[in-house]
Amino acid sequence: MTEPIIYELGAPGRCAARLPDLDVPRAELPPAPLLRDDLNLPEVTEGDLMRHYVHLSQMNHGVDVGFYPLGSCTMKYNPKINEDMARLPGLVETHPYQPEETVQGNLRLMYELQEALKAITGFTAVSLQPAAGAHGELAGVLMIRNYHQSRGDTQRTLMLIPDSAHGTNPATTAMAGFEMVELKSDNRGNVDLDDLRAHLSDRVAGMMLTNPNTLGLFDENILEITRLVHEAGGLMYGDGANMNALLGITKPAETGFDVMHLNLHKTFSTPHGGGGPGSGPVGASPALAEFVPGPIVYAEEALIAEDEVDAENGNGNNAADSPSEYHRGTWYSLRMPPQSIGRLKSFYGHFGVMVRAYTYIRMLGAAGLLEVTEAAVLNANYLQVILKEVYPLSYDRTCMHEFVLRGEVEEAPDIRALDISKRLIDYGMHPPTNYFPLIVPEALMIEPTETESKRTLDAFVDAMTKIAEEARTNPELLHEAPHKAPVTRLDEVRAARNLILRWQPDGE
Amino acid sequence: MTFVPHTEAERREMLARIGVSEIEDLFQCIPASHRFPTVELPRPLSELEIVREMQHLADDNLDVGHIPCFLGAGAYHHFVPAIVDHVISRSEFYTAYTPYQAEISQGTLQAIFEYQTMICELTGMAVSNASHYDGATALAEAAIMALSATRGKRNRVVMAPTVHPEYRQVVRTYIQGMGVELVGDEGLGSNAPRTDVEALIEMVDEDTACLMIQTPTFLGEILDLEGVAEAVHAKGAILVVVCNPISLGLLKPPGAFDADIVLGEGQALGNGLNFGGPYLGFFACQEKYVRRMAGRLVGETVDTEGRRGYVLTLSTREQHIRRERATSNICTNQGLNALAAAVYMAGLGRCGLAQVSQLCYHKAHHAAEAISVLDGYHVDLTVPFFHEFVVRCEKPVADINRRLLYDYDLLGGYDLGQTYPELAGHMLLCVTEMNTADEIAQLVEALEEIAR
């Protein structure tokens, strides 16, 4: 199954959108050298366009299509009410530079979300500005840098990062001008404490730690790690990609983290959008609270003029300089925190994503969030305990919300994690994360999430068990998989060697 | 309501299979002193209650569906054809993630490939990536790319003062740890509100990695890019141009002027105002820089049966492979926003985008001319502009905006004194295809009355 490129469906003169005629006199255009001659965009009807995208959508696997146990990505079901709320015109058809008094509803929503995330994580301050997890990481690492500089502690240039970390951690460290030092993991999947002690010094700015880590294991020495790093004058950065394991279970700030990002698109059920938009708010301990990126929303009690703006019909009848009455109320405003690292993007963050996450948190409440994590951890351990009989498990202990198997089958030495993954596609399931973390050979990182039923989990167990059997009896079936996808395996080497990054008409 | 499907019987069965008796037993690895803290949140709401709650919040806002909007300054109110939301509401698109497993992600991959193609056409460039978080972060990534492309030997970036003020702040945030000197945007200079491109070119020296300019500028002026790239290249530096994608329905693209990197805020392409986000940063460059580009790229290839297909490519640039030596830490792009932009561009197509562009241009010029003859306001009509223009006001802009809002039900312009002290008393007005002739007449009449 392939679908033509949208350009290939067009014919000159077609257009899928009709605009009104010009209702003012034409003005003189800029001089010809500033004008373009032509713009080669597709020319299609609305019907053609819709069918094109429906066909493309049918070539995609999403959470709404089937099981999606992509480790570290928390592909949980995204409640539909989130989508409806993020399309309420009164919320989203607002310009970011409107006067504050005309967007009090939006600012209150952001404030309440900041407060909710503080309650969940234990942090003192939250900024909703970062656009994604990696962006939140950049915020956090820059906050650590500015903290040390504000104290004149300028020789701290090293950032400690365990070998199990996401690739974003070292990449972010480099962007912020730090040098990274890799720490070993011990045989239980924890940070090797001796290696940590050996690397601590007054040159260490901090440590980036994902907890639970990318093996899905909660570091049993977390209090000792954060104590040691603090003792050496460093700060703790938490990568909150795995927060789905901790809701109501423990508050990262209370275990010694100074700054951490959250992924609203993972933990708080906002859809992943085929790769964005995400949202990566950062929370900060008292030491770093004033350094968060801004602006953020502040609330204060104030005297508010009645009839400031009658938002319901857009009819402000009272002249601003003579409001009829005042009442006491809460006023929300955007301000830069005193020692902020600065602005990380234009405007205030991914508001549309915040609306979805806020909807989710309000619907679940504290008890609901705890139930989320309990079920996520239950599901992961259920799969782990059964599947470790089928595939090797490097770190055999109770996991949190995900676990990592080795994609190896005894008596089938040619089979790799990739083959198992591609074969899973034929069973209608999205493969786990492959080849990550790097410390597990042939890694298959499996995160079922809490929204999957026992029935789905059992079907996954069946599929993984059958695949192991197929690996022994008919390895070609795996090497040539997938057989039931819109295309068979794609030639990635050719794509990189013979770069074609845009469509060209035949012969050009 | 938690969307957790387990019945109590299933839960028991699963716990038994794991070999523990209670769910709490799974959390023994958490230090006991820090286990099961109290989380203070408001009581949970049913679906009906959350709808009421959110509508209540919405009622505390004033949205642009209820008031004519003349505010732009980096976020633009445009018409979004119905098909855009229908496509991005297909949950096969919006509930998927980064297309690592290409065989079951062809929908997302082909849609991005088509997006890349259309961005190349729009900007006149050879290569586009799959998008950045927004225009501001795209500019920051361009600065970093230029520094890397000049092999780390050049440590200086020249940036026009008429690049969007928030973009300039974001560039500063990004590069604060890199030991880079950023110059050029200290003040508007004697030509204000026009941009002195010659003076900026003068600042490009042997230590400069790039010149970064915006056209139309934040103050609305269309810059003539003729000869700029040549002058910048003569110093061995790179030309980065920020532009408005809707303006490119009318204006010659920066690629035609030999720019090296062309980027901008893609929100105007089929994405709503959304109170500032999520938007998307489009980012295109010349072919020779493709391996230094940040962000995701989709490439065409074939499957084992020779059929055309698409994959993420050149991932050796990226953080999950290269870690601390990656071109950037970026992982996700703005997939769904880029999809909306693609549907918008394809839907309007060759003629439609030019038409939107022309509607904006003529309506904005009509408004500017009408305001220029009013007492109390001054518009320099000799400045070439697209759909935004500067009005010098004899009364304070904040006062004028309050009167427009409260007495005339109009959302006025951006108060330039907030970010450019030398432009106190100047307002930036924006007119798009959303503003009817009648709304423009209301604005002109209101301004006239306010000046009295």
Closest residue by Cα to residue A239 from A296, A162, A178: A162
Contact A454, A461 (CB under 8 A): no
Express each pLDDT in B403-435 by its tens digit: 999 999 999 999 999 999 999 999 999 999 999
> Both B167 and B249 in a single domain?
yes
H helices of B103-150, in order, are 106-123, 135-149
Residue that is written with structure tokens 């941009």 in the block:
B195
In a domain, A117, yes or no: yes
Question: B228 with B358, same domain?
Answer: no
Residue A204 domain boundaries: 89-298+331-358
CB-CB contact of A353 with A270 (8 Å): yes
pLDDT tens-digit readout, A62-88: 999 999 999 999 999 999 999 999 999
Mark whether B303 and B385 lie in a shared domain: no
Which among B243, B269, B250, B272 has a CA at the least distance from the CA of B63? B272
Contact at CB, B57 and A109, closer than 8 angstroms? yes
- Nearest residue in chain A measured CA to CA from B102: A490
Secondary structure (DSSP) of B326-388: SS-S-----HHHHHHHHHHHHHHHHHHHHHHHHHHHHHHHHHHHHHHTSTTEE--TTS-BSSE
Separation of alpha carbons B195 and B446, rounded Å: 30
Residue at A445 is within a domain: yes
User: How many domains are there within chain B?
Assistant: 2
Q: Answer whether residue A430 is part of any domain.
A: yes
Same domain as A455, residue A351: no
Q: Can you spell out the DSSP letters for B142-167? A: HHHHHHHHTTT---EEEE-TTS-HHH
Place of tokens 């490439």: B299
- Whether residue B105 is contained in a domain is answered as yes
Residue B397 lies in a domain: yes
If pLDDT is split at 50, 70 and 90, which confidence band does A319 have?
A: very low
Residue that terminates a domain, selected from B344, B373, B390: B344
ipTM of the complex: 0.97
Residue from the list A42, A97, A249 with its beta carbon closest to the beta carbon of B71 = A97
Q: What is the C-alpha to C-alpha distance for residues B16 and B25, in angstroms, rounded to an integer?
A: 12
Which helix (H) or strand (E) element contains residue A68?
A: none
Both B433 and B371 in a single domain?
Answer: yes
Name the band, by pLDDT with cuts 50, 70 and 90, for residue A225.
very high
- Burial class for B52, CB neighbours closer than 10 Å (0-12, 13-18, 19+): exposed
Q: Which of B306, B322, B344 is the last residue of a domain?
A: B344
Q: Identify whether residues A140 and A30 lie together within a single domain.
A: no
**A150 with A265, same domain?**
yes
Question: How many CB atoms are closer than 10 A to CB B421?
Answer: 10
pLDDT given at position A320:
45
End-to-end CA distance of chain B: 58
B285 plus B233 within the same structural domain: yes
- Mark whether B271 and B302 lie in a shared domain: yes
A500 part of a folded domain: no
Check whether residue A340 and residue A404 sit in a common domain: no
Pair (A21, A95) in one structural domain:
no
Q: How far apart are CA A228 and CA A198, in angstroms?
A: 11
Closest-CA distance, B343 to chain A, in angstroms, reads 8
Mean pLDDT calculated for residue range A162-168:
91
In a domain, A278, yes or no: yes
Q: Contacts of residue B45 in chain A, CB cutoff 8 Å? A: 362-363, 365
Q: Residues B187, B114: one domain?
A: yes
Mutate to test the interface with B, among A6, A346, A358 (most CBs of B within 10 A): A346
Q: Which of A36, A108, A501 sits opposite B297 (nearest CB)?
A: A501
Tell me, yes or no, whether B123 and B228 share the same domain: yes
pLDDT in tens, A8-43: 999 999 999 889 999 999 999 999 999 999 999 999
* CB spacing of B277 vs A171 below 8 angstroms: no
Does B147 map to a domain?
yes
Q: Which A residues 227-246 touch B at CB under 8 Å?
A: none
Out of B320, B344, B368, pick the residue that ends a domain. Answer: B344
Q: Are residues A19 and A119 in the same domain?
A: no
Looking at the domain assignment, is residue A342 inside a domain? Answer: yes
In a domain? residue A443? yes
CA distance to partner chain A, nearest, from residue B202 (Å): 23
Residues B334 and B405 in one domain: no
Q: Are B355 and B317 in a shared domain?
A: no
A window 87-146, beta carbon within 8 A of B: 87-99, 102-106, 108-109, 116, 119-120, 122, 131-135, 137-138, 142, 145-146
Interior CA angle at B210 toward B208 and B215, to 5°?
Answer: 140
User: B42-90: per-residue pLDDT in tens?
Assistant: 999 999 999 999 999 999 999 999 999 999 999 999 999 999 999 999 9
Asked whether residue B252 falls in the same domain as residue B106, the answer is yes
The answer to whether the Cβ–Cβ distance between B406 and A320 falls below 8 Å is yes
Residue B133 belongs to some domain of the structure? yes
Is residue B10 a part of any domain in this protein?
no
The whole-number pLDDT of residue A299 equals: 97
B102 domain-assigned: yes
Q: Give the mutation candidate from A2, A39, A269, A500 for the B interface (greatest B CB count, under 10 A).
A: A39
Q: What is the pLDDT of residue A314?
A: 43
Indicate whether A455 and A479 sit together in one domain.
yes
For chain A, how many structural domains are there in total?
3
Q: Is residue B392 a part of any domain in this protein?
A: yes
Q: Do B85 and A41 touch (CB under 8 A)?
A: no
User: Which residues of B are less than 8 Å from A188 in CB distance?
Assistant: none
Model pLDDT, residue A321: 47
Nearest-neighbour CA in chain B from A411: distance (Å)? 26
Using alpha carbons only, how large is chain B's radius of gyration in Å? 25
- Residue A204 pLDDT grade (very low, low, confident, very high; cuts 50, 70, 90): very high
Same domain, A240 and A93: yes
* B150: containing domain: 82-344
Closest by CA position to A202, among listed A242, A180, A229: A229
Q: Do B90 and A57 touch (CB under 8 A)?
A: yes
Q: With an 8 Å Cβ cutoff, are A349 and B297 in contact?
A: no
pLDDT of residue A408: 97
Confidence of residue A307 (pLDDT cuts 50, 70, 90): low
Query: What CATH number does residue A123 fall under?
Result: 3.40.640.10
Distance CA A34, CA A217 (A): 59
Which of A147-151, B174-178, B397-401 shows the lowest mean pLDDT across its residues? B174-178
Rounded to a whole number of angstroms, the distance from the CA of A324 to the nearest CA of chain B is 13
Residues A341 and A412 both lie in one domain = no
CATH of the domain at B366: 3.90.1150.10
A131 and A40, same domain (yes or no)? no
The minimal CB distance from B41 to the residues A277, A316, A361 is found for: A361
Over residues A406-432, mean pLDDT = 97
Residue that finishes a domain, picked among A36, A57, A78: A57
Average pLDDT, chain A: 94
Distance CA A345, CA A281 (A): 12
Look over chain B and give the mean of its residue pLDDT values, rounded to a whole number.
96
Q: Are B92 and B200 in the same domain? A: yes
**Are residue A353 and residue A378 in the same domain, yes or no?**
no
Nearest to A92 among B73, B274, B336 (CB): B274
Does residue B232 sit within a domain? yes
A34 lies in the same domain as A173: no
> For residue B358, what pLDDT band results from cuts at 50, 70 and 90?
very high
| Residue A308 within any structural domain of the chain | no
Residues 423-462 of A with CB under 8 A from B: 425, 430-431, 433-434, 436, 450-454
Helix ranges (H only) for A33-192 are 46-57, 80-85, 89-92, 104-121, 133-150, 168-175
Query: For residue B245, what is the domain's CATH number?
Result: 3.40.640.10
| pLDDT tier, A315 (very low <50, low <70, confident <90, very high otherwise) | very low
